[in-house]
């Protein structure tokens, strides 16, 4: 398939809330910030279309989705990824999965969200370009054996569905605590890159809408909604 994200976008007029698209491989997988996403056979490449009824930011929903995926990986494969803000899952600082959240708003109301998940399940990390080799990992690299992708996918769907329903029924506070607990960015010295430039400071917290709250060098506390983050220590 080209990209589950793009194929689902084509169906958006007719696709119901909760529609899932999975691909065995993608030849035009996309990551955040217009990066390409390597998607050979052996990974879990999927996109989910959501039409939330509550007027929340998409960033918090994407973080909750990533947290639910981390929970599924822990349960099925015995690997415990942390969250790197905004939407990466990492194991000892190496990326094992990424989430791509593409939203459309009606004014300030979140209308529709397509959440893409790229999870390096049974992927040889030698397939990645040289410059990425030290920064990526996969489940089979971590545990030394292949994971059952059907079991893992089923668990991911259960956990993400549960997270979504908790938001929909206004019972997400526990989930938000889990997001904060899993987030390895909080407490770090970070460099935040936005369209307005680069900012250095200490990541203090994650706000209710999923924004990263950073105390900059000049003492100002600033929320970042859309940005790329590097951990400096």
42 or 116: CB nearest ligand BTN: 116
Q: Looking at beta carbons, which residue is closest to ligand BTN? A: 98
Candidates 15, 20, 37, 112; binder of ligand BTN (CB under 6 A) is 37
The residues, any chain, with a CB within 8 Å of residue 175's CB and separated by 6 or more, are 64, 67, 163, 166, 167
- Beta strands of the chain (E only): which ranges? 19-23, 44-50, 82-84, 88-91, 94-106, 109-119, 189-194, 197-206, 212-216, 221-224, 228-231
24 or 208: CB nearest ligand BTN: 24
Write the DSSP assignment of 102-119 as a string of letters.
Answer: EEEEETTEEEEEEEEEEE
Cα dist from 174 to 158, 180, 181, whole Å: 17, 10, 11
Candidates 15, 26, 76, 229; binder of ligand BTN (CB under 6 A) is 26
Closest contact distance (angstroms) between CB of 220 and ligand BTN is 29
Segment interacting with ligand BTN, rule: CB under 6 A, options 32-40, 70-78, 138-146, 180-188:
32-40
- CA 4, 81, 63, 168 dihedral sign is positive
Closest contact distance (angstroms) between CB of 76 and ligand BTN is 19
Around Cβ 215, how many Cβ atoms within 10 Å? Answer: 14
Q: Give the number of residues in contact with ligand BTN, rule: CB under 6 A.
A: 21
Candidates 66, 88, 91, 152; binder of ligand BTN (CB under 6 A) is 88
Question: Is the bond leading into 86 cis (omega within 30 degrees of zero)?
Answer: yes
Asked if 185 contacts 229 with a C-beta cutoff of 8 angstroms, the reply is yes
Segment interacting with ligand BTN, rule: CB under 6 A, options 74-82, 113-121, 150-158, 179-187:
113-121
Candidates 31, 40, 207, 223; binder of ligand BTN (CB under 6 A) is 31
Place of tokens 């200490």: 202
Does 118 engage in binding with ligand BTN (CB under 6 A)?
yes
Letters for 41-70 (x = contact with ligand BTN by CB under 6 A, - = none) are ----xxx-----------------------
CA–CA dist 118, 126 (Å, integer): 17
CA–CA dist 47, 102 (Å, integer): 10
Binding site residues, ligand BTN, CB under 6 A: 3-5, 26, 29-32, 35, 37, 39, 45-47, 88, 98-100, 116-118
């Amino acid at each position: 398939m080209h990209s589950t994200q793009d194929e689902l976008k084509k169906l958006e007029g007719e696709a119901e809330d909760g529609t899932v698209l999975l691909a065995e491989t993608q030849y035009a997988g996309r990551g955040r910030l217009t990066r390409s996403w390597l998607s050979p056979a052996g990974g879990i490449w999927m996109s989910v279309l959501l039409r939330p009824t509550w007027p929340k930011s998409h960033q918090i929903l994407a973080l909750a989705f990533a947290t639910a995926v981390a929970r599924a990986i822990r349960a099925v494969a015995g690997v415990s990824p942390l969250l790197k803000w905004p939407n990466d899952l990492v194991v000892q600082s190496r990326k094992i999965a990424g989430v791509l959240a593409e939203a459309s708003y009606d004014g300030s109301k979140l209308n529709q969200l397509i959440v893409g998940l790229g999870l390096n399940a049974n992927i040889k990390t030698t397939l990645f370009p040289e410059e990425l080799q030290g920064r990526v990992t996969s489940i089979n690299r971590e545990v030394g054996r292949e994971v059952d992708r059907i079991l893992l996918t089923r668990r991911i769907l259960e956990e993400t569905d549960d997270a979504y329903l908790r938001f929909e029924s206004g019972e997400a506070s526990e989930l938000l605590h889990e997001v904060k607990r899993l987030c390895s960015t909080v407490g770090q010295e970070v460099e935040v890159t936005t369209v307005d430039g680069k900012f250095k400071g200490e990541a203090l917290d994650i706000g209710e809408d999923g924004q990263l709250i950073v105390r900059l060098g000049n003492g100002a506390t600033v929320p970042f909604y859309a940005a790329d983050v590097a951990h400096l220590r």
